[in-house]
Chains A and B, each alone.
Chain A
Amino acid sequence: MTPGIAADSPVGRLRQVELRRHWRQLNAESRWGVVILAVILVLSVSVPLLSPNDPYGFVDQPLQPPSAAFLFGTDHLGRDLLVRVFAAARLDIALAILGVSVPIVIGTFIGTLAGTTRNRVAETVWDGLVNALTAFPEIILVLGIVAMVGADIRGLLIAIWISRWAQYARIARAKSLALRDAEFVQAAQVLGYSQLRILVRHIMPNVFSEALAYALSDFIFIIVIIGGLSFLGLGVTPPTPEWGAMLAEGRLYLRTEPWLILFPGFFLSLTAIGVALLARGLERISKGEDE
């Protein structure tokens, strides 16, 4: 609920009704996705807030197994693993959202631009460009850019932005190719609107819904890349709590203290599964396969 609008005010009640209607439109898959993601989000905010322990603080002997005092045990330095896992959730999800949001805007804009041009040469060059950029194995391209820009959070985000926009551009171009001759675009042209206005106000909003659908599956990929590079020690680095970095640390104690990898890995996978369920559910709804 938006702050400032009371639940029993007319606007608040309208919101509730609308929320319930949206919920009813979902199928089982997407509902599970929403529930999983909501639980993780709530835990990632509340656990670090409510716990007396700090994600960076040393609280007990290192490598304690899970117990009543420390639900997930303690890590190799004696920090509370529970707090660290959910502090990591916050960081990972925030980084992944940041990682998705820039390419979606840039890619959609460039793709729409490319889709509405009628220049043959530009089209051929465009095809080659996007094919070439997407030919690089994703993680290797990200690694290459990180090598140049710097192996930290900033370098990681820049690498994701540079390497991920092409997919959105590809989707946007395909969609806007179909739209450029649509009647409402012709109408806008007859009305004498500028090219830029038609592009941004009339074509891009229609392209955007498709890009958003792809963004959900891209989110999974980006959260894996963030975790993967941090796992390799080339993204988020210790002591910052991050799932991939925690897996890399815990990996050394695999034989004797497996919970060090089980908890961060489980919640990383669960997040990805939640998004995947939501994406699949929404896809099936839009295809009209369910309910």
Chain B
Amino acid sequence: MTSSPGGIDARALRLLRHPVLRRLAQAFFVAFLLMVFAFLLIRLIPGDPAMILLGDEATEEDVIAYRKLLGIDGSIPSQFGRYVSNLVRGDFGVSIRSREPVLSIVGKRLPVSLWLTVTTIVMTIGLALPLGVAAALYRRTWFGHAFQIGASVLVATPVFFSGLLLILLFAVQVNLAPIAGYHAGFPANLYYLWLPALTINCVLVPVLSRILQSSIVETSSEEFVEAAIIRGTQGWRFYWRYLLRPSLAPTIAALGYFAATVVSYAVIIEIIFNLPGLGMTLVDAVRNRDYPLVQGIVFLSGLLVVGLTFMADLVNGWLDPRAKIR
């Protein structure tokens, strides 16, 4: 990425070498490879996909039409060329089942998944931050030990079990949440989203608060913390600027890293809680062998994670000068 383009003055060159730009170029390269993987995915089908979908009694014309629909007619390089140019123009193909463009299906279902993700992350921050700080400050007391044990148990409990337990507790025993379902529109949708979000956080919060805890413990032995104490820095300013802010970077980086996990678990959560989001669409598409829809959702979810990781990197650089993107 840093080859010297002739004729460009030094300032432009420096800009080209800017770390953020280089990370961006890297992200684009990864996005391109995601495209290649998504393209190759349909080639994992053993046999002729068109024949699988149509059955043995299909006519020749039908098979040819289906191959065209799936984008598997012509040579492999020409297929790939068409695939890429279609994607760039925002054409992700057509769902075999409903004949609706993949992108418009995704557009319809995405808001539910996004609301779930946002609710989850807000809840994550609200829970992991105080828990991590408390676990660091009181790590030698009973609270610290209880925290360790509780975190280990929660992390190892699969979401589809903890989700059912939470339904049993909050929807069946006490009537604080619906058993399943969804209604669009903020803030009414929060009533349907808080329990699914809590379920994902059963895994996420223990991991992140643990990272935050060990990171705070590490920061507190740094020289600049000692220097701040000696200078007499006190109160909120001390906690935020010298203890919490430098310790947040690994947590934010981990949050970026776990973005993929959140999106992953959201699939199962949407099925358990009957939320009509992208995850439910994907599972339905897998059941119906709707290959273009599966391909599109897999690619877009990868893209989403690349974007989120990139953003986490940027926030990281702002929070902690030591972790600035190199």
| A interface residues, Cβ below 8 angstroms from B | 128-129, 131-141, 143-151, 220, 224, 227-228, 231-234, 244, 247, 251, 254-255, 258, 261, 265, 268-269, 272-273, 275-277, 280
Contact = CB atoms under 8 A, between A and B. Distances in A.
Interface of B: 26, 29-30, 33-34, 36-37, 41-42, 44-46, 152-153, 155-161, 164-165, 167-168, 172, 179, 260-261, 263-265, 267-268, 271-272, 282-283, 285-287, 289, 291, 294-295, 297-298, 301-302, 305-306, 309
A129 B35 CA distance: 11
A242 to B, nearest CB: 12
A232 B163 CA distance: 14
Given A143-B298, A269-B153, 20 more contacts: A128-B29, A132-B30, A132-B302, A135-B34, A135-B309, A139-B264, A139-B268, A140-B264, A140-B297, A141-B298, A143-B286, A144-B286, A144-B298, A150-B46, A254-B179, A258-B168, A261-B161, A272-B158, A276-B156, A280-B152
A27 B209 CA distance: 24
8 contacts: A135-B309, A137-B305, A146-B286, A254-B172, A255-B172, A269-B157, A269-B158, A280-B152
Contacts of B42: 148
B260 A135 contact: yes
B156 A220 contact: yes
A265 B165 contact: yes
Contact of B34 (A136, A220, A272, A277): A136
Nearest to A230: B160
B45 A148 contact: yes
A261 B159 CA distance: 13
Nearest to B268: A228
Nearest to B34: A132
Contacts, number: 149
B286 A136 contact: no
A281 to B, nearest CB: 11
A13 B268 CA distance: 50
Contact of A268 (B158, B260, B285, B302): B158
Contacts of B271: 231-232
A265 B158 CA distance: 8
Contact of B37 (A132, A138, A150, A232): A132
B45 A149 contact: yes
A227 B42 CA distance: 25
Report which residue of A138, A140, A234, A269 has the largest number of chain B beta carbons within 10 angstroms of its beta carbon: A140
Contact of B41 (A132, A134, A144, A228): A144
B46 A140 contact: no
A123 B283 CA distance: 36
Contacts of B179: 254
Given A135-B30, A135-B302, A137-B305, A269 B161 contact: yes
A244 B181 CA distance: 22
A133 B152 CA distance: 28
B310 to A, nearest CB: 10
Contacts of B160: 227-228, 231, 244, 247
B294 A144 contact: yes
A275 B285 CA distance: 34
Contacts of B268: 139, 228, 231-232
Nearest to B303: A135
Given A220-B156, A273-B152, A135 B286 contact: no
B250 to A, nearest CB: 17
